[in-house]
Amino acid sequence: MTESQEDPELVDELPRAKIERRRRGFPVVWLVPVVAAIVAGYLVYGHLQESGATITIKFRDGHGIKAGQTEIRYRGVPIGEVTAIDLSEDEKYVVVKARLRRSASAIAKEGSEFWIVRPEVGFGTISGLSTVITGPYIQVLPGTGKPKSEFVGLESAPAAPERKGLKIILAANHLGSVRPGSPVYYRGIEVGSATSTELNSDATAAHIHLLIGQRYARLVRGGSKFWSVSGLDVHVGLLRGLEISLESLRSLITGGIAFATPDDPNSRPATNGMVFTLYDKAQKEWLEWTPRISLPAAD
């Protein structure tokens, strides 16, 4: 028997290896992407559930507006978000597309007004300061008309959007330093403000729109006289020396308007849209008028 030949009995006595097939389980490495996909799907589903109407707003200037970041707010609460920004075909407008939350879709109606809130710093007033950090946002004042999806944004915030009062117009040869927001005084008390300025229809005068607070509206009558109190009024006399007249420090910077009303029982209360002349300065007799006009109690 050669060495290459093996004894069958010896072969049978040798131990044999047992091969067991392991059941393949779910690879742990796939657990993370599966969980991530589930979470992403849940977030997308939640976003779709909250999504509401899609609207388009045209602005003259879209500076600071960013898709995916700029919010639409009402009463300080985010109700939507800008999704895309583009130029109009005539390149005159910035077209902003936004999606409202489902709970706020009813805001997309005729009469709704949109404007961009940016930081504005003036003497005596600071607005939109939070946008220095967060960036501009779009504010909305809801309308009451039929559902609508396309709007033209305002250049600035509407004048006192939720305030009531008397709205009148002053006509002046020159606007001077009066600007939107300039105060209106009666006996040194601020009773209103300028809301906007423009040229009249034939460009022969500057028109200043005023809003007089509702409590003080009855102070304005058909015979009331308005004059500018912007800047310093300086007089030098031998007996009185140097006299400086200034309604307020604020009016020095932003411009200001004062008015007086005569004690005339036949002078009727002013109505919305009445036009008055704005004079450069007050006449002495106007400052002596002392009509008795009952005012309603303050709110």
Q: Tell whether 105 and 140 lie within a shared domain.
A: yes
Q: Tell whether 103 and 170 lie within a shared domain.
A: no
Task: Specify the pLDDT at position 35.
Answer: 73
What is the residue range of 116's domain? 51-152
Domain membership flag for residue 22: no
Q: Tell whether 115 and 56 lie within a shared domain.
A: yes
Q: DSSP code of 28? A: G
Domain membership flag for residue 222: yes
Domain membership flag for residue 26: no
Are the beta carbons of 220 and 94 closer than 8 angstroms? Answer: no
Domain membership flag for residue 175: yes
Q: Tell whether 276 and 225 lie within a shared domain.
A: yes
Q: Tell whether 181 and 231 lie within a shared domain.
A: yes
What is d(CA 263, CA 276) in angstroms, rounded to the nearest whole number? 18
Q: Tell whether 65 and 146 lie within a shared domain.
A: yes
- Could you say which of 120, 152, 184 is where a domain stops? 152
Task: Specify the pLDDT at position 46.
Answer: 55
What is d(CA 210, CA 201) in angstroms, rounded to the nearest whole number? 18
**Residue 18 is which amino acid?**
K
Q: Tell whether 169 and 279 lie within a shared domain.
A: yes
Q: Tell whether 131 and 185 lie within a shared domain.
A: no
If one counts the domains in the chain, the total is: 2
Q: Tell whether 118 and 207 lie within a shared domain.
A: no
Q: Tell whether 169 and 283 lie within a shared domain.
A: yes
pLDDT string in tens for the chain (299-residue length): 455 555 555 555 656 666 666 555 556 666 777 777 777 666 655 555 456 789 999 999 888 899 999 999 998 899 999 999 999 988 889 999 999 998 888 888 998 999 998 765 444 444 444 544 567 899 998 888 899 999 999 887 775 544 678 999 999 998 887 888 788 999 989 999 888 889 988 989 999 999 999 999 999 999 999 999 865 554 445 455 444 444 444 444 456 899 999 998 788 999 999 999 999 999 999 999 999 999 988 76
- Laid out side by side, the sheet with 51-59 consists of 113-117, 137-141, 71-74, 77-87, 94-101, 51-59, 150-152
Q: Tell whether 64 and 141 lie within a shared domain.
A: yes
What is d(CA 124, CA 138) in angstroms, rounded to the nearest whole number? 24
